[in-house]
Amino acid sequence: MTQKLLNLTSTEYEHSFDKTALEALRIVPGFDTVMNFVLNWTTIRWHIIGLCGSNFHVTNESCPELYGLVKNVAESLDIDRLPEIYTIWSYGVNAYTTGYKDNTIMVVHTGAVDLMTNPELSFVIGHEAGHIKSGHVLYHVMVDFFSQIISGSGLMKSLSVPLQLALFYWYRMSEFTADRAGLLACQDLNAALSAIMKMAGIPKRYFSTADPKVFAKQAEEFMSKYGGTIDSVIRNISILDDSHPWTVMRAYELIKWVEKGEYDRLLEKHKGKLCPICNNAIAQDATRCPICGNQIFK
Ligand SMILES: [Zn+2]
Ligand SMILES: [Zn+2]
């Protein structure tokens, strides 16, 4: 059972590259124009209608186990409102989040559900929940918008190139923040790394012998071979092909964050305790239970 992290805020685990890249992105000429266009973009609504009309809606009735897992992840990350959840028939070990205004939808590939253990799946779902918690979803829709509309049609080409570069660069950086949310949700670094390993393409027949430590070594080697800083690696190659999930670098950054002690610090800071009367999680320093009003003695 994972711990609920009461009053956790996304800024506490936001990756510094994500923050800087988003600040830079917001001042690129054309950002507001495209964002407003996306907000009013009827195609997104059609996309959502198509998505909801074609895939399996996960609810407490239709699929209680998976629904419960998502609920547990949301509780761990102190997220009140659950997104709508759908599964899509695809054997990629993957999930994504999309949406329009308040209508946030998380889509989990069947491959992620079938090929992962529950802690690994909690990492993947926690990663998506992290995107929601950080308010990344709108910008992800902008990334889709660029991939599908602008690059194909030449529309708004003059403003799109710098904006597309900034947007794709930020998108990579936002993955580091979301991975930290994933780890805070599953609370198991080995599960997080083995989830990333499965995304990276380890064949199913070797799942049982896969060793996260060996993958961590691959990440170290990659960085010493191609490195400089992770920032410069991504800056140089992120625009060439946006389909790479950057698994090796993501593993490297997540391990570094844990080694710095940040993960343990947050866990310690936000772990609640249980009210002896109603059994709800309450803050470590609470003197009264906000649910049942029971006075808490230290
Ligand atoms: Zn992501
Ligand atoms: Zn209580």
> Under the phi-then-psi rule, with left for phi > 0, alpha for psi from -120 to 50, and beta for the rest, what region is 246?
left
Residue 114 one-letter amino acid = D
Q: Residue 152: is its pLDDT beyond 60?
A: no
Task: Give the DSSP per-residue string, 136-164.
Answer: -HHHHHHHHHIIIIIHHH-TTHHHHHHHH
Phi, psi (degrees; rounded to nearest 5) at 95: -155, 160
Give the number of whichever ligand sits closest to the CA of residue 279: 2
Q: Residue 257: CB partners within 8 Å, gap ≥ 6?
A: 15, 180, 183, 263
Look at residue 295 and tell me if it is in a domain: no
CA of 287 to the centre of ligand 1 (A): 38
Count: domains in the chain: 1
Give the number of whichever ligand sits closest to the CA of residue 137: 1
Going by C-alpha positions, the residue among 61, 104, 70, 77 that lies closest to residue 3 is 77
CA of 116 to the centre of ligand 1 (A): 17
Tell which wins on pLDDT, 186 or 293: 186
Burial of 1 (0-12, 13-18, 19+ CB in 10 A): exposed
Length of the chain: 298
45-79 residue pLDDT tens? 778 888 899 999 999 999 999 999 999 999 999 99
Residue 128 banded pLDDT, cuts 50, 70, 90:
very high
Residue 255 one-letter amino acid = I
Burial of 134 (0-12, 13-18, 19+ CB in 10 A): buried
Look at residue 265 and tell me if it is in a domain: no
Place of tokens 């343990």: 264
Give the number of whichever ligand sits closest to the CA of residue 126: 1
Residues 67 and 57: their CA atoms lie apart, in Å, by 10
Residues 268 and 290: their CA atoms lie apart, in Å, by 21
Tell which wins on pLDDT, 146 or 140: 140
CA of 284 to the centre of ligand 2 (A): 13
Cβ contact 196:245 at 8 Å = no
Going by C-alpha positions, the residue among 3, 1, 69, 41 that lies closest to residue 266 is 3
Question: What DSSP designation does 59 have?
Answer: -
Cβ contact 262:8 at 8 Å = no
Look at residue 274 and tell me if it is in a domain: no
Q: What is the number of other CB atoms lying within 10 angstroms of the CB of residue 283?
A: 15
Question: What DSSP designation does 5 have?
Answer: B
Look at residue 269 and tell me if it is in a domain: no
CA of 112 to the centre of ligand 1 (A): 14
Q: What is the dihedral of CA 178, 181, 187, 193, to 10 degrees?
A: 10
Residues 32 and 14: their CA atoms lie apart, in Å, by 23
Look at residue 294 and tell me if it is in a domain: no
Determine the pLDDT at residue 229.
Answer: 66
Cβ contact 98:137 at 8 Å = yes
Determine the pLDDT at residue 150.
Answer: 57
CA of 77 to the centre of ligand 2 (A): 20
The range of the structural domain enclosing residue 80 comes to: 10-260
CA of 142 to the centre of ligand 1 (A): 14
Q: Residue 104: is its pLDDT beyond 60?
A: yes
Cβ contact 106:81 at 8 Å = no
Q: What is the mean pLDDT of residues 133-139?
A: 89
Average pLDDT, the chain: 86
CA of 295 to the centre of ligand 2 (A): 8
Q: What is the mean pLDDT of residues 125-134?
A: 95
CA of 43 to the centre of ligand 1 (A): 22
Determine the pLDDT at residue 29.
Answer: 83
Look at residue 270 and tell me if it is in a domain: no
CA of 124 to the centre of ligand 1 (A): 9
Q: Residue 141: is its pLDDT beyond 70?
A: yes
